[in-house]
Amino acid sequence: MGGTRRAHQKSRAGCIECKRRRIKCGEEKPRCHQCKKYDKSCEYAGSTLGPSTPSTRSSVQLHPDTEPLSQRTSTTPVPSISSVPSSSAHIPSSLFDAQDLSLFHHWCLTTSISIVNTRNLDHLWQTTLPKIGFRHIYVMHSLLSLSALHIAYLDPFEKHSNILNAAQHHSKALDGFRQDIDYISPENCDGLFVNAILIFLYTFITFGKLYDPAIDSKVGPRILGADWIPLMRGVGIVLQVGYEHITAGPLNSLLSIGNWMELCPDPESDPDDKHIVRIREVWNQGDNAAVYDETLELLRKCRAWIIQFEKMHVEDTSEWGHSRSWTGPFLWLFLAPQRYLELLAQRQPSALLIFAHFGATLHAIRQYWWIDGCSKSIVDVVSESLGPYWDHWMEWPKQVVER
DNA sequence: CAATACGCAACTCGACATCC
DNA sequence: GGATGTCGAGTTGCGTATTG
């Protein structure tokens, strides 16, 4: 005791173990010096820890009523699980507030089995994903955000507050994703991959039926890729590094692409194929024609993929493991050429037109609640962006989404 | 004696006030 | 409006007591 203390530089993002032990963390990644020295598992919080978030040492975070949900905005850091470590062994239960636990309960009982609603795959959403969520807190945030959106979808009276709550969790899920993607390893590639899918679902849901102009004034840019195009690149990086590990693990079934490679667009089984094919006239021989042609062929394939499941008998889909029609949009978005996504971001008319036809294609799988309303939003936003000059080419997508 | 626990000084940073 | 200062809540990690 006595004397002056040694001056020191404070870190702001030390690892969970060093914080718990109240010792200096050098923040080396993937393992800090202290954790290496004492052979501890070194985990960094999956979300940004705002300077004003309550101390992780105090256990006062079980306080659902201290801040009305309606006052929670994306710029107001929500106390509670923002600093939960990514290891289940280190999650103090007091860091979850009662509302989060309620959302988790809803995920396990209801939302998880509503995503694809197929017996063979429900287990993955209901059990495997929460397990990954215990290891990677950003995945847990994603699960909670989808759960909140699902409640908002089911109960219009609770819509506004649940959408706000979902936005909070989504923002933390994104923060964690951004942090972890710089350190892809066998330990986190499952978490990163599954989080990308969940973030994607979130994006779809929020510009579908649950779109709320009071909360989100920039739906147009979001629908046209402001959110999901950068995410697409992230998924590509995760799969480049972790593909073998993911396919060898519990998420294997999410990566299985069945007969996609052999699938051929078939005008006979798709009566609307002519509407898709005809938009080639728009870019015929012009700049980027090859990119648009390739993207359009992928879209036709995506339609063939969805249609084959519509026509399958239940016993056939069970042979497949489950109906995979819901994966169609993901496959198209993921396989679309990078150049196409750039052209879409630039709002080139041909790219927008293809995207509107993709929107119309989504209409075929609107039985999934998370896609309900997306097709109309996409077509509306594209139509507004293109203007009346393109109405002739937008006729069919507009018709489809009004059905 | 090394590892762990934790009191509390030092520090950070947002909010607000004041001045230019 | 921007720059600067002050305040105080919250966070970090030094240094020491305790434990095995």
Asked whether residue A8, judged by its CB, lies under 7 Å from any atom of the DNA or RNA strand B, the reply is yes
Please tell me the predicted confidence (pLDDT) of residue A278: 93
Q: Check residues A36 and A370 and name the one with the higher pLDDT.
A: A370
Please tell me the predicted confidence (pLDDT) of residue A173: 84
- Residue pair A167/A218 in contact (Cβ under 8 Å)? The answer is no
Between the CA of A73 and the C1' of B18, what is the distance in angstroms? 30
* pLDDT at residue A72 is higher than 60: no
Percent of all residues in chain A with a pLDDT value above 90, rounded to a whole number? 19
For chain A, give every domain's residue range. 93-253, 260-402
Q: Give the pLDDT confidence of A140-170 residue by residue, as tens digits.
A: 989 999 999 999 999 888 788 888 888 888 8
Residue A356 banded pLDDT, cuts 50, 70, 90: very high
Please tell me the predicted confidence (pLDDT) of residue A41: 66
* pLDDT at residue A118 is higher than 80: no
Q: Which nucleotides of B are covered by protein (CB under 7 A)?
A: 3-14
Residue A290 banded pLDDT, cuts 50, 70, 90: very high
Between the CA of A190 and the C1' of B18, what is the distance in angstroms? 53
The arithmetic mean of pLDDT across residues A51-72, rounded, is 31
Residue A80 banded pLDDT, cuts 50, 70, 90: very low
Which positions 42-61 on chain A have a beta carbon less than 7 angstroms from any atom of strand C? 49, 51-58
* pLDDT at residue A366 is higher than 80: yes
Residue nearest to nucleotide B15 (CA to C1'): A52
Between the CA of A91 and the C1' of C9, what is the distance in angstroms? 25
Q: Check residues A289 and A258 and name the one with the higher pLDDT.
A: A289
Q: Give the pLDDT confidence of A210-235 residue by residue, as tens digits.
A: 776 666 666 777 788 777 777 777 78
Please tell me the predicted confidence (pLDDT) of residue A61: 29
Please tell me the predicted confidence (pLDDT) of residue A279: 92
Give the tokens for residue A366: 């609107």
Residue A250 banded pLDDT, cuts 50, 70, 90: confident
Between the CA of A20 and the C1' of B3, what is the distance in angstroms? 14
Q: Check residues A125 and A186 and name the one with the higher pLDDT.
A: A125
Between the CA of A57 and the C1' of B5, what is the distance in angstroms? 13
The arithmetic mean of pLDDT across residues A172-189, rounded, is 80
Between the CA of A114 and the C1' of B15, what is the distance in angstroms? 44
* pLDDT at residue A81 is higher than 70: no
Q: Check residues A23 and A198 and name the one with the higher pLDDT.
A: A198
Q: Which nucleotide is nearest to A14 (CA to C1')?
A: C12
Between the CA of A186 and the C1' of B6, what is the distance in angstroms? 36
Q: Give the pLDDT confidence of A332-349 residue by residue, as tens digits.
A: 888 899 899 888 888 899
Q: How far apart are CA A272 and CA A265, in angstroms?
A: 11
Please tell me the predicted confidence (pLDDT) of residue A75: 29
Please tell me the predicted confidence (pLDDT) of residue A257: 76
The arithmetic mean of pLDDT across residues A230-259, rounded, is 81
The arithmetic mean of pLDDT across residues A250-263, rounded, is 80
Please tell me the predicted confidence (pLDDT) of residue A159: 83
Backbone angles phi, psi at A92, to 5 degrees: -70, 130
- Residue pair A331/A257 in contact (Cβ under 8 Å)? The answer is yes
Q: How far apart are CA A130 and CA A127, in angstroms?
A: 6
* pLDDT at residue A301 is higher than 60: yes
Q: Determine which of A43-52, A304-313, A357-366 has the lowest per-residue pLDDT on average.
A: A43-52
* pLDDT at residue A300 is higher than 90: yes
Asked whether residue A23, judged by its CB, lies under 7 Å from any atom of the DNA or RNA strand B, the reply is yes
Residue nearest to nucleotide C16 (CA to C1'): A1
Cα–Cα distances in Å, from A264 out to A95, A104, A270, A298, A327?
Answer: 51, 41, 11, 10, 17
- Pick from A147, A160, A165: which is nearest to A211 by CA? A160
CA A119 to chain CA mean position, Å: 22
b/e code A11-48 from CB counts within 10 Å (16+ = b): eeebbbbbbeeeeebeeeeebbebbeeeebebbbbbbb
Q: How far apart are CA A101 and CA A93, in angstroms?
A: 10
Residue A74 banded pLDDT, cuts 50, 70, 90: very low
Percent of all residues in chain A with a pLDDT value above 70, rounded to a whole number? 77
A293: Cβ contacts below 8 Å, ≥ 6 apart: A280
Asked whether residue A392, judged by its CB, lies under 7 Å from any atom of the DNA or RNA strand B, the reply is no
